Structure formats: C-alpha cells, structure tokens
Homo-oligomer: A and B are copies of this chain.
C-alpha cells in the first residue's frame, strides 16, 4: 500500500486543538488521525483508521487463536430483553433510549449480555454444546455524562465484547482463564503495558472481575498496588478490618460544649485546647465524621444514606458509587436537611442516625469503625460534641460500607504491604457474570443426566478505539506520535527531502514503490513546494516507526534511515536500499 502525502486526506496542525487536555487527543488531532464530529464522537481520518484497523485485526486474531467465534449483533435493540434483565432502568441516564415510528421502545446497546444469552438459548440445548466462546467487534453507545479526552471516553466507541457459556463453575473458571490469557497476549502484541487489578462488577452483576489497566496519569481509573503483587481498582479495595477493641475501662460518653466547630479541623483544634488527652494530641482520626448523601434509585425513589467514617478520610465518590450501584449518589441538599429536622448540620452524631433512630436514616460506617472503638463525634446539638462514644456500647450502625478514600500507605488487604496509588486507562475488563443473565432470560441446557441446569456466563471486553488512544498516550514523545510496529499506519515514511529537485523525487518514488512491492505499507511524502523542514516535522508528528530520507545524501549515493523512537540514523547505499531497509525491520 502506497500512501502519498500529496493526495492523502490529511492536514497536520501546528497548534493544539483548544479542547484537547491530554497528549493522545492533542496529537491524534494535530497529526490528522481523527476529527471531532459530535460530543463524544470522532471521525477516523485515513491514517487514524489504518491504526484502528491494525488494532482491531490484532484483537480479532487473538480471539480467533483462543478459539472464540465471531458473530455480529445489531446495535439498535428492542427494550424487552433489557427490561427482563433490569438493565433498561439500571443503566440510568447512560443508556440511549429511543422510540421507532410505531412508538416502540428501543435502545442503543451499551453491551450485549442479554442478546448473547438469548442467541445461545435459541441455538443450543445441551451440555455437549458447551463451553462456547463467542465475540463481536462492534460499535457501542453510552450516553456518558462527560465525554472527554478524545478517544478515551466516547459516547460511540468500538468494543470487542465476548461471552463464555459453561455448565459449571469450574468451566467458567477455565473460560475466564482462557480469556485472561488471550488478553495478556493481545496487549503484549499491542505493546501496551498493563496491570491486572481486581475490580467491582458494577451494573454487570456477577462475581469475579478484573480490569486490565494501562498505567498512565491521564487515565480515569485509580488503582492501588502493593510491592507484594496485590493490585485492585480503587473501587474494589477491601479495607482490612481491625480486631474489636476492649472497652471495659472506657469512660462513659460525655457531651461537651464545642462552640463553632462545624468542621473536623476546628473540632480537633478546640479539643486539643480545652479537652487535652493525656497520651497524645487529638487528631482527625479520633473523630467520627458523618456524611449524608441521597441515593436516587432506578425506580425513581430517593433514599437518604448516612456514612460514618474517621475524620481523617473523605468519602471517595467513585468507591461510594460502586457500592450503591445501580442507585446513583446525589448531594444531600438544604431542602433535605429541612425535611429531616433530627439532623443538626455540622453536629450530626450517631444518636440521630440509623434505621431505628429518630431520623430513620440508614447509617453505614467505615469498616475501621469496629466494636470498642471510641469516637469524638457530633452530639446532634449545635455547638456540642460527644466524647468517648464507643461503637457497640453507645451506638450500633446498620452496617459497614467501603466508601472511604484509599490513601497511599494504607495496608493491602492481603497483608502484602503498603499500597501505592496510581492512575490507569481501562483497556480490558473480564467478568465472571455467573448465572444472573441466564436466570433472568431462562438459559438452561440439559446436563449429562438429562436434567435442566442453568448456564453460567462470563463477559469480556476490550476497548478497541480506546486502545488506540492508550497506545498513542504511552508511546508519543515531544515531537509527536511514535507508533509501535504492527499498529502504525505505515511501515516506512519516505521523505523526498526537497521541494523541487526532480532527481530526489525520482529516487524517492522508486524507492517507495520498491518497498511497497516488497509488501510494506509506505507513506511517501511526495509534496512539491513543501520544504524539507516541514516534511520532517510532519514525519515526526505522524510517527511512522522508520523514516527514510532521500535528499542531500544522494550525492554520496546514500539515503538516511532513521528510527523514529531512538532517533538513530544510518546511511544506506541507495543501490539496494529497499532490500536493506526491509531486512532491518524487525518482524
């Protein structure tokens, strides 16, 4: 394939687009790979689509290699199956819903668990047909609240989604392991670093779940890892639960005047000033902060929730959201306070909380708030707090919740040491769905004894368009994009380093054609009246892995072969250049 810069549908830009916050977005637009077409919707230009199709091909080849079979579903689907699974409402505002000309409800599928389940139910009926692994590479739609960062978070994107069907839990484990191995092979081929982290399964339902995160500061996912191999999405981190504390000799709780202490800082300062303790100063960790939120359930009802956590930690919005899913977390407003007169803002304490309390508000606490722990917390009166309030003696929460932020240095739940916090781009996600969808949609097969059993499923996704962004993000440099071989839009970028010298164009053209004849994809900068400097800048921006310059060296009978990444340059005799360049390309 020979692409000529003179006719290629591309415009490189010298300036960063105004809305681009991250390098992949900036560079993919500047190098003419993508253009914004809609909120959360990008058009692939020819160079971009070549990269996209390379990534798609690698994903497909690895799925085929593992023995998965490719199918393809429509995107526009009727409401019924999603109603049956509950996702029609559980997906909330993230689902694009529409009516057809007859007023029938449809959706644009965010993923296809329901449809795959129904298809297998339609075709298969026996344990002999299982395990089955089927996949598609398909356009998905999600009405993201905040589409952002170019290809990282789109409303319309391409995903490879596969599904496994097994008759037993052991079978599901094997199917899950096979996908995990295929994902490792895929991301290795794509040249993408990844960390496999434990994850929550969210709206998908199901049990075991891991994410493949590409560690990168522009990523939207926070994860933790320990020196000892523990790794988890922040949402999935389980707090190590301390042992109960003996409290036989604890003093009784006592309420004190603490005027003008509506915040933890003011409270700690006043406590140290007026109620100093013998052993050490009061700290935020001694206080019990009670945070109120409102849960909006998919059925439209709203429910207040109180979260009690040590005052040295904030509520982590994403961790909380993951816990309450499919409800969504909304702020607790002034109107909500007015409607709940038992709550004294700034001085809320456990006595006013709990399903059996005057407020009746469900009260969940951080797992660190175990029996016997003593807290300084609100007394439910303006300007007053209660000291030495002992959990299990003076108050009993309705349960615990994993909603507190994770801090660097927190201990890993498996005892493998302190946690380090990092950010990553989610490039893959594997789920053990279990029997949730098969039960909802009644997918059963006959086992070897002729008995009907419910099938157990897994669901596995790779963000294909997002992987393009992740690769760009992890490989670019100051000068521009810098694609790994196999993903790049071309193997070789031949630059005719002249604006007008016909001899240079002639040699460059011949060389480009010879490389193409040898089976390589070549981008040839054949533009007239464009200076070598501009051509070099464009070549660096576009990021094809090998740049061959035909120019001044011709007088000495050489062309320059340059590695885009290392910038290593070698002069190669122009006679036989195509063969030696081809030979020097790895793979």
Contact = CB atoms under 8 A, between A and B. Distances in A.
Interface stretch (A96-104, A176-184, A285-293, A451-459): A96-104
Interface of A: 1, 7-11, 32, 35, 37-39, 41-46, 49, 52, 64, 67, 69-78, 93-94, 96-98, 100-101, 104, 106, 108, 115, 119, 122-124, 132, 134, 139, 141, 143, 145, 155-156
Contact of A96 (B42, B76, B93, B119): B76
B108 A76 contact: yes
Q: Which of A74, A101, A104, A108 has the most CB of B within 10 A?
A: A74
Given A100-B143, A101-B143, A155-B76, A71 B9 contact: yes
Contacts of A122: 35
A75 B123 contact: no
Contacts of A11: 123-124
A48 to B, nearest CB: 8
A61 to B, nearest CB: 11
Nearest to A94: B101
Contacts of A37: 73-74, 77, 115, 119
A75 B46 CA distance: 17
Given A71-B43, A132-B9, A35 B119 contact: yes
B101 A43 contact: no
A10 B124 CA distance: 9
A43 B69 contact: no
A414 to B, nearest CB: 38
A10 B52 CA distance: 30
Given A76-B155, A98-B96, A145-B101, A115 B43 contact: yes
A74 B134 contact: no
Contact of A69 (B8, B106, B134): B8
29 contacts: A1-B64, A7-B67, A8-B69, A9-B132, A9-B134, A35-B119, A35-B122, A37-B77, A37-B115, A38-B77, A38-B106, A39-B104, A41-B74, A41-B76, A42-B74, A43-B72, A43-B115, A46-B71, A49-B70, A49-B71, A75-B139, A75-B156, A76-B96, A76-B156, A93-B101, A96-B100, A98-B108, A100-B143, A108-B108
Given A35-B122, A134-B9, A46 B73 contact: no
